[in-house]
């Protein structure tokens, strides 16, 4: 992956700049046996950074498990788990600086929490109190997007505005493999390339869009190959290798920050669980297919690697597990408490000032509720 | 399609002119002159961009060309390609990028080239433009304007003449405006750009080259010093009358005015209400008029079924029932796709059709 300096430079008289093409196999720095492999282009991150990342993986896995349990207990309406994709989640948050923006989807709860957003505010959506619970400006995290690929264009707009003001802001926008079939994916990549704005598009290819496998979405050599069609660099990375993700995403973010324009990164990972708890994955994929991915788990390989460096031992593992448990406990306690939602809020934010019609409707509901309160 | 654009784009007095960056300033010095609706919009954009560097204008062909209707004429030359620029041809892209820019401190104004070409952007409009402020409990506001050259009466071929207001008006979170006069074109666009809420701004194509004697410099001063009356959420009495109320907006206002003038010659006094702000809707002004006259006809150039016109009829009926001497009637287009140019006159509400409907409003004395 070579970074062009401006959006025109990819179209040359002599032909196409094939350096925009991704590597033929996904970049991997630590294999699933925990062995490191040097790469000419991507340096292995500092071991301390990997250790810190490992702690976040442990936390991320615990958050996924906790959220699934809360769905079973009826405390959350639904949870799209990122179990198995935690390395993508953690790296997406860790490569950004405070002035940068993250644009997550419904699947990226762990990324949002890793960026620092209060988990209870994140779960407002899935608990059903409101459509989004955190202030996007506080940590520069957009609301988790549900309509597929639509958020990628917002990411382009945020980056474009920042660029016009000469600000040092990079935007990292997440989407899934299925979302790359949407028109908004195409429009976002094309706009980002034409306006040469600092957006890193990060596709978590977990091989499924609900029940539909990737081969029904696209027959491109890889999703990252699509980048060259927009004149931006594409890269493929092992999505269960935190080291490779930090290095590849980090390089794309650095390049975008220094004026190199947008990039498309595809992480090869796997959705280890059903689409959500409401889905029955046995209807469309075999258990053996899932089992093949168990040895490729993002946590186990990094554990082996860090233990090999003597950076991780039982005591440190216990400490990380305790930290993760504390996060889970806070989520449990928070979500077991009922929160009052004021029904008047339904009318308060449709416009900055209530219209006459909304005032009438708000009064009607208030009246209804006060009569109910008197009766009961 | 190009043919239509060019024809519709040709101003009455002159064809596509070269960029005139000083045009907006010169109006400041001049007193009242005959100004086109298009010029008023162009001046409003220029004035808003001059007043606030976060105001941006983008869309298809809005840069050096100045838009197929020349509403953005001269803006790129005056403000530079960072402030007024062409995008790739992708309406969802334009809308979605505007959302992101509005999230991040800008006040984007986007042009959808024609009403029917705004549909690719519909998901962005409905799922994000309209809902993002509510989704975030007002933490994220979207001060953006979606300008749409809209409706028919210009002999346009298919996909160039849709009256799409009902789609937008039905979507909570959007402010929907449709000016009908040159003065309102200026003031309402300034107000739309200044609004903290997203605005769908419907520009009746057939009015682009209509003229009115106004002093744009005076309007600018009145808007900027706050003395101009606010237009969002307020309808106006465009013509006073006593016998019945014609309720119109955007392209149907001049038709209603012509009908009222014709009725006056026949001795019937019709009041005309220019709704101009479809959302928020001004029940007060509309109902006050109907209570005075006791009769009402709603006029709109759109299929009537499940339309803004249908909503107005319902609201008037609910609020003014005891003041009504006759059922509230509608004169709208038929419930058919917008017709081809040679047939559009059958579709559009005409003075005759309006007067016939007024005649049917159960006048006891058989007038
Ligand atoms: C525009 C749109 N169409 C359909 C859906 C319903 N839907 C939600 S998730 C999903 C699958 C998306 O798959 P992918 O992009 O691979 O992401 P993943 O869920 O695997 O993370 C679908 C079809 C939607 N949210 N938005
Ligand atoms: Mg997927």
Question: Cβ(A108) to ligand 1 under 6 A?
Answer: no
Among the residue ranges B17-31, B74-88, B129-143, the one predicted with the least confidence is B17-31
Q: Are residues A203 and A312 in the same domain?
A: yes
What is the tens place of the pLDDT at every residue in A290-310?
999 999 999 999 999 999 999
Name every chain B residue with its beta carbon within 8 A of the beta carbon of A357: 280-281, 283
What is the tens place of the pLDDT at every residue in A261-271?
999 999 999 99
pLDDT of A7 over the 80 cut? no
Q: Are residues A192 and A309 in the same domain?
A: yes
Please report the residues numbered 298 through 357 in chain A whose beta carbons come closer than 8 angstroms to any beta carbon of chain B.
345, 348-352, 355-357
Reduced to 3 states (helix: H, G, I; strand: E, B; else coil), residue B354 is: helix
Specify the pTM: 0.93
Q: Does a structural domain hold residue A155?
A: yes
pLDDT computed for residue B19 by the predictor? 43
pLDDT of A239 over the 90 cut? yes
Whether the link from the prior residue into A262 is cis, omega within 30° of 0, is no
**CA A69, chain centre distance (Å):** 21
Q: Does a structural domain hold residue A2?
A: no
**CA distances for A195 relative to A156, A163, A231, A232, angstroms:** 9, 10, 12, 12
Task: Specify the number of domains making up chain A.
Answer: 2
Question: Cβ(A239) to ligand 1 under 6 A?
Answer: no
pLDDT of B12 over the 70 cut? no
Residue A160 contacts B, CB cutoff 8 Å? yes
pLDDT computed for residue B365 by the predictor? 61
Q: Are residues A258 and A366 in the same domain?
A: no
Q: What is the distance between the alpha carbons of residues A128 and A145, in angstroms, rounded to a whole number?
A: 15
What is the tens place of the pLDDT at every residue in B234-256?
999 999 999 999 999 999 999 99
Question: Cβ(A179) to ligand 1 under 6 A?
Answer: yes
Question: Cβ(A152) to ligand 1 under 6 A?
Answer: no
CATH fit for domain B236-362, picks 3.40.50.920, 3.40.640.10, 3.40.50.300, 3.40.190.10: 3.40.50.920
Q: Where are the beta strands (DSSP E) in B67-143?
A: 84-86, 107-111
pLDDT computed for residue A18 by the predictor? 80
Q: Does a structural domain hold residue A1?
A: no
Distance, CA A148 to ligand 1 centroid (Å)?
6
pLDDT of B14 over the 60 cut? no
Q: What is the distance between the alpha carbons of residues B202 and B345, in angstroms, rounded to a whole number?
A: 21
- A357 → closest Cβ in B95, B131, B281: B281
Q: Are residues A28 and A162 in the same domain?
A: yes
Q: Are residues A298 and A373 in the same domain?
A: no
Distance, CA A74 to ligand 2 centroid (Å)?
25
Return the best residue to mutate from A210, A267, A274, A278 for the ligand 1 pocket (most ligand atoms within 8 A of CB): A210
Q: List, in sequence order, every residue forming a beta bridge with A201; answer none if it has no partner.
A: A173, A264
Q: What is the distance between the alpha carbons of residues B17 and B297, in angstroms, rounded to a whole number?
A: 41
What is the tens place of the pLDDT at every residue in A103-127?
999 999 999 999 999 999 999 999 9
- Of all protein residues, whose CA lies closest to atom 21 belonging to ligand 1? A176
Q: What is the distance between the alpha carbons of residues A294 and A362, in angstroms, rounded to a whole number?
A: 53
What is the tens place of the pLDDT at every residue in B289-302?
999 999 999 999 99
Q: Are residues A232 and A353 in the same domain?
A: no
**Helices and strands, counts by H and E, chain B:** 15, 14
Yes or no, beta carbons of A153 and B124 under 8 Å apart: yes
Residue A217 DSSP symbol: T
Q: Are residues A43 and A162 in the same domain?
A: yes
Question: Cβ(A209) to ligand 1 under 6 A?
Answer: yes
CATH fold of B28-224 reads: Rossmann fold (3.40.50)
Yes or no, beta carbons of A349 and B134 under 8 Å apart: yes
Domain range summary for chain B, segments of one domain joined by +:
28-224, 236-362
Reduced to 3 states (helix: H, G, I; strand: E, B; else coil), residue A44 is: coil
Nearest-Cα distance to chain A for B104, in Å, is 5
Question: Cβ(A177) to ligand 1 under 6 A?
Answer: yes
Q: What is the distance between the alpha carbons of residues A329 and A83, in angstroms, rounded to a whole number?
A: 19
Joined tokens for residue B94? 């334009």
Catalytic residue among B160, B170, B322, B346: B160
pLDDT of B17 over the 70 cut? no
Q: Residue B56: which of B99, B21, B14 has the closest Cα?
A: B99
Domain that holds residue A362: 343-376
Residue B126 DSSP symbol: I
Q: What is the CATH number of the domain that holds A330?
A: 3.40.50.970
Asked if A343 and A369 count as a contact pair (C-beta separation under 8 A), the reply is yes
Question: Cβ(A58) to ligand 1 under 6 A?
Answer: no
Nearest-Cα distance to chain B for A363, in Å, is 17
What is the tens place of the pLDDT at every residue in A338-375?
888 999 999 999 999 999 999 999 999 999 999 999 88
Q: Are residues A231 and A359 in the same domain?
A: no
B120 to chain A: closest CA residue: A183
Yes or no, beta carbons of A157 and B98 under 8 Å apart: yes
Q: Are residues A105 and A43 in the same domain?
A: yes
pLDDT computed for residue B15 by the predictor? 33
What is the DSSP code string of B148-170? Answer: EEE---S---TTS----HHHHHT
Q: Where are the beta strands (DSSP E) in chain B?
A: 33-36, 55-59, 84-86, 107-111, 145-150, 175-177, 199-204, 211-214, 236-239, 244-248, 270-274, 277-279, 296-303, 329-333
Name every chain A residue with its beta carbon within 8 A of the beta carbon of B95: 153
Joined tokens for residue A343? 């029904």
Nearest-Cα distance to chain A for B154, in Å, is 31
List the end-to-end C-alpha distance of chain A, in Å, as a whole number: 67
pLDDT of B24 over the 50 cut? no
Q: Are residues A64 and A208 in the same domain?
A: yes
Distance, CA A81 to ligand 1 centroid (Å)?
13
Question: Cβ(A22) to ligand 1 under 6 A?
Answer: no
Establish whether domains B28-224 and B236-362 are of one fold. yes
Name every chain A residue with its beta carbon within 8 A of the beta carbon of B93: 153, 156, 184, 187-188, 190-191
pLDDT computed for residue A13 by the predictor? 57
Q: Are residues A131 and A55 in the same domain?
A: yes
Yes or no, beta carbons of B99 and A157 under 8 Å apart: yes
* CA dihedral angle for residue A21, residue A23, residue A24, residue A30, rounded to 10 degrees: -160
Residue A229 contacts B, CB cutoff 8 Å? no
Yes or no, beta carbons of A150 and B93 under 8 Å apart: no
Distance, CA A290 to ligand 2 centroid (Å)?
14
Mean pLDDT of A199-221: 98
Nearest-Cα distance to chain A for B281, in Å, is 8
Asked if A236 and A23 count as a contact pair (C-beta separation under 8 A), the reply is yes
Q: What is the distance between the alpha carbons of residues A248 and A355, in angstroms, rounded to a whole number?
A: 49
B95 to chain A: closest CA residue: A153
A359 to chain B: closest CA residue: B280
Yes or no, beta carbons of A184 and B100 under 8 Å apart: no
- Which residues have a Cβ under 8 Å from the Cβ of A7 and sit 6 or more positions away? A193, A194, A195, A196, A231, A261
**Where does the pLDDT of residue B16 fall: very low under 50, low under 70, confident under 90, or very high at 90 and above?**
very low
Name every chain B residue with its beta carbon within 8 A of the beta carbon of A348: 137-138
Name every chain B residue with its beta carbon within 8 A of the beta carbon of A160: 97, 100-101
Name every chain A residue with its beta carbon within 8 A of the beta carbon of B139: 135-137
Q: Are residues A264 and A367 in the same domain?
A: no
What is the tens place of the pLDDT at every residue in A46-86?
999 999 999 999 999 999 999 999 999 999 999 999 999 99
A189 to chain B: closest CA residue: B93
Angle at B56 between CA A143 and CA B42, to 5 degrees: 140
Name every chain B residue with its beta carbon within 8 A of the beta carbon of A157: 96-104, 108
Closest atom of ligand 1 to A275 CA is 19
- A352 → closest Cβ in B103, B138, B283: B138
């Amino acid at each position: 992956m070579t970074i062009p300096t401006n959006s025109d430079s990819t179209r040359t008289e002599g032909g196409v700049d094939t350096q925009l093409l991704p590597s033929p196999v996904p970049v991997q720095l630590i294999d699933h046996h925990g062995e490191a492999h040097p790469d000419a282009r991507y340096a292995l991150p500092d071991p301390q950074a990997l250790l810190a990342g490992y702690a976040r993986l442990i936390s991320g896995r615990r958050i996924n498990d906790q959220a699934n349990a809360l769905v079973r207990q009826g405390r959350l309406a639904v949870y799209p788990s990122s179990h198995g994709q935690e390395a993508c989640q953690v790296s997406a948050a860790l490569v950004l600086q405070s002035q940068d923006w993250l644009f997550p989807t419904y699947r990226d709860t762990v990324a949002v929490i890793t960026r620092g957003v209060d988990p209870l505010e994140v779960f407002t959506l899935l608990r059903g109190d409101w459509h989004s619970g955190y202030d996007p400006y506080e940590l520069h995290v957009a609301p988790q997007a549900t309509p597929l690929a639509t958020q990628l264009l917002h990411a382009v707009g945020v980056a474009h505005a920042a660029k016009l003001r000469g600000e040092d802001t990079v935007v990292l926008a997440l989407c899934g493999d299925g979302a790359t079939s949407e028109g908004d994916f195409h429009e976002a990549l094309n706009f980002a390339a034409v306006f040469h704005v600092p957006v890193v598009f990060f596709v978590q290819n977990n091989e499924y869009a609900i029940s539909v496998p990737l081969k029904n979405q696209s027959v491109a050599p890889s999703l990252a190959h699509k980048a060259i069609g927009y004149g931006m660099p594409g890269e493929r990375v092992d999505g269960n290798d935190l080291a490779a993700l930090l290095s590849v995403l980090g390089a794309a973010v650095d390049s975008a920050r220094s004026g190199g324009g947008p990039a498309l990164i595809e992480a090869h990972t796997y959705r280890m669980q059903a689409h959500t708890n409401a889905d029955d994955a046995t209807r469309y994929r075999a258990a053996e297919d899932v089992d093949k991915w168990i040895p490729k788990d993002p946590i186990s390989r990094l554990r082996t690697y860090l233990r090999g460096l003597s950076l991780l031992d039982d005591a440190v593992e216990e400490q990380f597990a305790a930290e993760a448990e504390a996060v889970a406990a806070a989520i449990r306690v928070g979500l077991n408490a009922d929160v009052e939602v004021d029904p008047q809020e339904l009318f308060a934010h449709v416009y900055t000032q209530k219209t006459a019609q909304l005032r009438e409707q708000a009064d009607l509901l208030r009246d209804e509720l006060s009569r109910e309160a008197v009766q009961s | 399609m190009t043919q239509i654009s060019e024809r519709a784009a040709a101003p009455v007095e002159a064809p596509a002119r070269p960029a005139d960056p000083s045009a907006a300033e010169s109006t400041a010095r001049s007193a009242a002159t005959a100004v086109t609706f298009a010029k008023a919009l162009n001046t409003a954009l220029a004035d808003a961009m001059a007043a606030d560097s976060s105001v941006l204008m983008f869309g298809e062909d809005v840069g050096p060309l100045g838009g197929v209707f020349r509403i953005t004429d001269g803006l790129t030359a005056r403000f530079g390609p960072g402030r007024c620029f062409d995008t790739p041809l992708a309406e969802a892209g334009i809308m979605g990028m505007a959302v992101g820019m509005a999230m991040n401190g800008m006040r984007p104004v986007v042009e959808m080239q024609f009403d029917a070409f705004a549909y690719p952007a519909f998901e962005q409009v409905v799922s994000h433009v309209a809902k993002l402020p509510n989704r975030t409990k007002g933490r994220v506001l979207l001060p953006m304007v979606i300008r749409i050259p809209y409706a028919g009466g210009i002999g346009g071929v298919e996909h160039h003449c849709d009256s799409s207001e009902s789609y937008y008006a039905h979507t909570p979170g959007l402010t929907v405006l449709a000016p009908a006069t040159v003065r309102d074109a200026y003031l309402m666009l300034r107000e739309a750009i200044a609004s903290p809420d997203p605005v769908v701004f419907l520009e009746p194509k057939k009015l682009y080259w209509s003229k009115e004697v106004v002093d744009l410099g005076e309007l600018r001063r009145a808007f900027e010093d706050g003395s101009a009356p606010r237009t969002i959420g307020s309808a106006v009495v465009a013509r006073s009358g006593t016998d019945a109320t014609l309720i119109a907006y955007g392209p149907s206002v001049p038709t209603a005015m012509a009908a009222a003038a014709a009725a006056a010659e026949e001795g019937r006094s019709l009041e005309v209400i220019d709704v101009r702000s479809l959302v928020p809707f001004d029940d007060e002004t509309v109902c006050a008029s109907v209570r005075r006259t006791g009769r009402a006809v709603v006029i709109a150039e759109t299929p009537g079924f499940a339309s803004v016109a249908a909503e107005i009829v319902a609201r008037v009926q609910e609020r003014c029932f005891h003041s009504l001497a006759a059922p509230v009637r509608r004169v709208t287009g038929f419930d058919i796709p917008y017709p081809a140019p040679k047939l559009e006159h059958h579709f559009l509400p005409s003075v005759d059709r309006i007067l016939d409907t007024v005649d049917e409003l159960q006048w006891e004395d058989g007038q």
